[in-house]
Amino acid sequence: MPNKNISRARFINNKLLGRKRDVEEKTCIEEDIREIRPLTMQLSTETTQDRQEVVEVCEDLYHLLKHEDIHLLKEFHRMYLDYSFTNNLPPQLKALDASQPWLLYWIGNSLRLMNPKWLSKNYQQGISEKLLNASVNGGPFCGGLGQLPHLICNYAAVTALALCDNYDDCWSKINVHGIYQWLLALKMPNGGFKTCLEVGECDTRGTYCALSVAAMLNILTPELCTGVEEFLIKCQTYEGGFGGCPQEDEAHGGYTYCAVASLAILGRLEVINVGSLMEWCSARQFNEERGFSGRSNKLVDGCYSYWVGGTAAILEAYGYGECIDKPMLRDYILKCCQTKERPGLRDKPGKSPDFYHTNYVMLGLSITEHNFKVQGSVNSIKCAPIKESAEIVPINPVFGLPSEDLEKFVRFYSH
Ligand SMILES: [Zn+2]
C-alpha cells in the first residue's frame, strides 16, 4: 500500500496539477538508510535532467564573467521599453489583449525603476488616457476596450496610474467609490475575492489585488477586510509557502507573495507560521544557479527574484531578519537574466526577454541593493542602500512600485 506522502504527491501531481507522468517511487529498507543520499543522486528524471542543463549553462556564464564587474545595462534596456511606447507591438502580443493595463504597468514601472525621468510626461499622458478611455467612468478597470471589469486588471491599471504623477489630474478621475462598491460585491463567503462579478476564480492573487488597491485608494474598511485573514491563513501549506486556495494546494512563489503582502497590508503577519515561510523562501534559492525557483523541484526563473525576494523583503521590513542571499541573487540577475545581445531581462539563459520579466527582475534587483524597514505604516517602508550606488530606485516591496510614487499616490487619497 502506498504511504501517505506518496498518495499526497500523487494527488498534487495528477489531480491538482493535471500532470500525466506518474510520481516516481523509490523505497529502501531501514538498513539502507545510509544509502538514501546516493539513491536520490542516482535518480534521473526529466525534471533532474532539465535542471542539470540549466545549472551547466549558468555555471558557464559565471565562469565566463568571473572577472567582470557587471552592471545593469540601463540605456540598452531603455531602448527596448521606449520602442514599445512609440511602435506597434509584435503580433504575438495579441495574446495579451485582455492584459493591456499589465503591459502599461510593466513597461512604465521598468523605465521608472531605472530613472524617474525616463517615464516622460508624454508616456504618463499615454498611459493615463489609454486606461481612462478603456474603462467607463474611471473604473473599476478592465483589460481593454469593451471588456468587463476584472480584479487583476483593475490592480494593474491603478498601479500604472500611480506611476503617472497625477498627469492632467488623472488621479481625481479614478472612481474610488465605484471601485469600493465593486470590491465589496466581489467578496466571497470564505473571505477571498472573486475576479469578476459575472464569473471568476477566488485565490490569494485576487485577494492581494483587492487589498493593495483598497490600501492605495484609502478604502480599506473593516467591512472589506472581514474574513480575509482567516482565508489567507488557510492558504499556507505544509511546505511553509502559500498556495492559491485554502484547500490542498502547492506552495508557489507568486501566491506566497500575494498572501504575505496582503497580510502586511492587514498588519497581521504574526498570524502565520513565519519560521516555516522563511525556510521555504530560503529553500527556493539554489546554490548553483544562485536565483530562485517558484516551487519545489522547479527550475530557476528571474521573476521569482521579486515574488520570493519581495516576500523576503517584506519579512525583513517587519523585523523577521533576512532569509535570502542577496549578493547571490544579484549575480543571477546581472549575469544570467541579461545579455549584451538583446535588451530587456529574461527568465533564464536560453529564454527571450519580455516586459513581464524585465519589470520583476528589476524589482528583484532593487531588493538586492537595499535593506528594508517599515516606518509606521505599510505605505512607508524605508530602503537603506546596501551599496553606495544603487542601480534601481528604492521600492516598496508590498506594492511593487517606487517608494516615491507610492507615497505620493497614497497621500493624494489620504484626506
Ligand atoms: Zn518567470
Distance 256 CA to ligand 1 centre (A): 15
- Is residue 357 part of the annotated active site? The answer reads yes
- Is residue 356 part of the annotated active site? The answer reads no
pLDDT at 35: 58
Query: 3-state class of 378 per DSSP?
Result: strand
pLDDT at 249: 85
pLDDT at 55: 96
- Is residue 50 part of the annotated active site? The answer reads no
**CB neighbour list of residue 317: distance below 8 Å, 6 or more residues apart:** 264, 372, 373, 374, 381, 397
Q: Residue 410: enclosing H or E segment and its boundaries?
A: helix 403-412
Distance 296 CA to ligand 1 centre (A): 15
CA distances from residue 131 to 169, 184, 412 in whole angstroms, order as listed: 14, 22, 19
- Is residue 249 part of the annotated active site? The answer reads no
CB atoms within 10 A of CB 46: 8
With residues binned 3-state (H G I as helix, E B as strand, rest as coil), the percentages for the chain, rounded to 5, are: 55, 5, 35
- Is residue 336 part of the annotated active site? The answer reads no
Residues with CB under 5 A from ligand 1 (ion): 301, 303, 347
Distance 158 CA to ligand 1 centre (A): 23
Q: What is the mean pLDDT of residues 88-113?
A: 95
Q: What is the mean pLDDT of residues 56-68?
A: 96
pLDDT at 287: 94
CB atoms within 10 A of CB 83: 13
CA torsion, ordered 58, 62, 64, 68, to nearest 10 deg: 140
Q: What is the pLDDT of residues 167-219, one digit of tens each?
A: 999 999 999 999 999 999 999 999 999 999 989 999 999 999 999 999 999 99
pLDDT at 213: 98
- Is residue 82 part of the annotated active site? The answer reads no
Q: What is the pLDDT of residues 13-44, one digit of tens each?
A: 888 888 877 777 766 666 665 655 555 567 78
Q: Residue 312: enclosing H or E segment and its boundaries?
A: helix 304-317
pLDDT at 20: 78
Q: Which of 112, 347, 348, 356 is catalytic?
A: 347
What would you measure as the largest C-alpha separation in the chain, in angstroms?
Answer: 75
Query: What residues does CATH 1.50.10.20 cover in the chain?
Result: 74-413
| 143, three cell numbers | 483589460
Mean pLDDT of the chain: 93
CATH number of 74-413: 1.50.10.20
Q: What is the mean pLDDT of residues 260-266?
A: 98
pTM here?
0.91
Q: Which of 78, 82, 354, 413 is catalytic?
A: 354
- Is residue 177 part of the annotated active site? The answer reads no
Q: Which of 165, 203, 249, 301 is catalytic?
A: 301
- Is residue 252 part of the annotated active site? The answer reads yes
**Pairwise CA distance, residues 124 & 137, whole Å:** 19
Distance 29 CA to ligand 1 centre (A): 40
pLDDT at 344: 98
Q: What is the pLDDT of residues 113-158, one digit of tens each?
A: 999 999 999 999 999 999 999 998 999 999 999 999 999 999 999 9
